[in-house]
Amino acid sequence: MKYRLLIIVMFLCFNSVLKAQQPNIVWITSEDNSKHYMKLFDEHGIETPNIERLAKNGIVFNNAFSNAAVCSAARSTLITSSYGPRLATHYHRAEGKVTLPNNQTMFPAYLRKAGYYTANNAKEDYNINKPDDVWDDSSKKATWKNRKEGQPFFYVFNIGTTHEGTLHFSEETMNTTKTNTNPNSVFVQPNHPQTDLFKYTNATIETRYKPWTPKLVL
């Protein structure tokens, strides 16, 4: 009997510790970026003061790499915590989406079961059929502020400003539209062609970064 009582006490203590260790989690996703674009990771990158402040007060993973070079495959890996080929989620927008095994769901669902309020603003674009138990809210209006008082939250905020689809431009645009950054002043990675096209592309990327990086407010 005393051993059973000891086990119960240990379980209650462990459960209390778990509740005390439920930090709020904010997940910021920025589309289609190389580490070379941010000064946080590369001396030639663009200054992102608010992100740098978050990093200074948090943890930076210098040896974490994307599972795929395209958005939906990488996002599917992140949301399942599983290597893409294991679940066949590495095909970018295949004709049919993958159904998860019966013993697995997307990881925010586990947080939700642990008492978290889970919100996603707003992009999903997974290569998987999404289970129903993942998000309390997943929409363009989703916010952590809708949680119950005192409830821990997991909040995903997606920034599409740098998505590769927004970087396409015509030759006419390149010849007639000026970027806020001088193309001749940007750093082009040594493994890229040192051409006017690559300089203009990098200047366009930098121009897109600068308006939103100082204003990131959650």
Contact (Cβ atoms closer than 8 angstroms) between residue 131 and residue 108: no
Residue the block writes with tokens 């795929």: 68
Contact (Cβ atoms closer than 8 angstroms) between residue 109 and residue 79: no
Q: Taking the C-alpha atoms of 186, 192, 197 and 202 in order, what is their torsion angle to the nearest 10 degrees?
A: -40
User: Is residue 71 flagged as an active site residue?
Assistant: yes
Considering the candidates 38, 68, 71, 74, report the single residue annotated as catalytic: 71
Q: CA-to-CA distance for 117 and 136, rounded, in angstroms?
A: 6
Q: CA-to-CA distance for 136 and 29, rounded, in angstroms?
A: 19
26 exposure class (CB count in 10 Å sphere: 0-12, 13-18, 19+): middle
Q: Which residues are annotated as catalytic?
A: 71
